[in-house]
Structure 1
């Protein structure tokens, strides 16, 4: 599987100027190529290369391979935009936003990332340096730093392109690594259900609870600080705002990495799979008071799901996504579903069998049961057979045991 490793470059002041000039030249060339692609409709890589390759080398000072990488970047950008238009991500048919996107060529910022392949960039991991092409010739002995795990992954699995990028004056290289996956555990001992939330970021059916109290408190503090600085609106306040940007994003990302690592490691150690609820589109379904909207929209559940997905693949842990409908109102013991089962946010009290537990724990147990049903259904799918009177099957070919196992409908599976 492909894993991206980001390392920090440590250029001198002179090297940083050369890198900035290189990025600027590459993105000016990309804008010129984008204009040609938009005017002629030649958005395919090879068709575009026939029209702009010589111009990029002559007018922008690019060598042969960097010019090819610029053309590839432009072609990929148009492919992505076509996909977004097709999927309605840039507005509905006839909308102003969609019309504007279709009527303008793609533009690249002066500091937009630039891809480099093995002909333009080489790694010396042991020496912690790279050699990279620039518009002023080959830059050698450019130092970089990274964690021991990053350096090990680079040394053993680095393959393909690396992207040069700059953020807030800091330089990074984003390297693509091809990391082998462990064999998939095709016979898990069971499934760990994971219920996601804002107050409790993740609650598992095995008893793990990852509270979001500290992260939510940090977000509220950052919101108050930003509001205060924006009201002040002085030059110094703007400098502080610039320094603080992305800090909250990095904190949330670190928390999600920690939670996903803990969940996957425990599932791998116990031989279980992971069942995660599908929350796609929840921001459009849930209605919140105005004061709570920022909390809902800063909830990074999709990032946590992505982290769990790739770490489970890497560890060979089965992973499925299930429909969360009524999982918080259904009793995990007797399957009784009632709105009154939730007297408050944190407590689940079944009105039928009387069981009382934490609401998120009850929901995660329901997700675990649904995950096991999805996994088994995926493994045991076969060609439909006509019902037989003595077989105990219903008209859909399901036995009583399988009907009992799949008491709640499930939406989709991404494993098995």
Structure 2
């Protein structure tokens, strides 16, 4: 049996999952929360197991330690770590009656802490039991990275070790799958709900791995031959599909949030350029040079986007004395005539106001006193809505509607007809 496909699949899935786990650990370090830590551990544990299950690393561990098939114990303990994290995750994802249905984490009160400690203690107590049963069934020779279960299942201690491991894994998969399916129904449509459903589908798919392995173990223990394909082909296929679903479920919402932050960061650039050209003191630093550096921006997008929004707000306040009230009135009239959505109406008004202010400032216009300065919409927007408002304003800077609003200001006054 060629080991190359198993190396490619296990190393590929393990490496990709560890990349997701690293991002979760990074997010946890920035904003520590118990739920996010459990998520990171729930990804890191099976990721490590997949890496060690690759025949390449599996054989390397046996060679370095001199203990045959020792990697099996590490692989299975990694999955037990996932099982423990998944069971705890099911607890913190289960919303109490007093909790709003759209919230993600249950509050970590004394009652929940006790339940978490109890579940974690059960898994912690079973780790030495599993290790003892594994060692009692040894020594394990030859090295069998793909057929350990069916080769050594006839040994009673090893069969018990395998059955206990599969039972813990199955319990965790069913528990997290059940909770995720129920929790997804409480969430609004979006990437978070899709991600949680993917986790549920992945967990329930991985149950096929458990069923195949248990069948292969029972048949091998009974002395029946020909069941290796359940353990070496069908079971790993279910495990790989389940791992992909779970990893995508954890990564999907985070990836979507990252993409939205990057989109907003790029979308705000025209509006930021407008206020920056008016007063360069508003920004901590100037535009990136060369320009392609911003197009390749991948890190710290939340901080960069928040800073860009704050600098735009500062610029709006700075430009307020030069805003042309006539441009604001024309923008409101045009928005009413074309029946713009209230959010779009506000964005068009602000875009017209800022463009008129920049034009007036450049032309040396006299700033208006405070009582004559028009009050613009959006200044009192909630933090959750402010960014979306500014992105809309930036979009309207290139809108034909804005050209219509500002066209009268640039056109020369009409010549009155001659008297007959």
TM-score scaled by structure 2?
A: 0.24
Which structure features the higher share of strand residues? 1
TM-score scaled by structure 1?
A: 0.24
Which structure features the higher share of helix residues? 2
Give the number of the structure with larger relative contact order, counting CA–CA contacts within 8 Å between residues 6 or more apart: 1
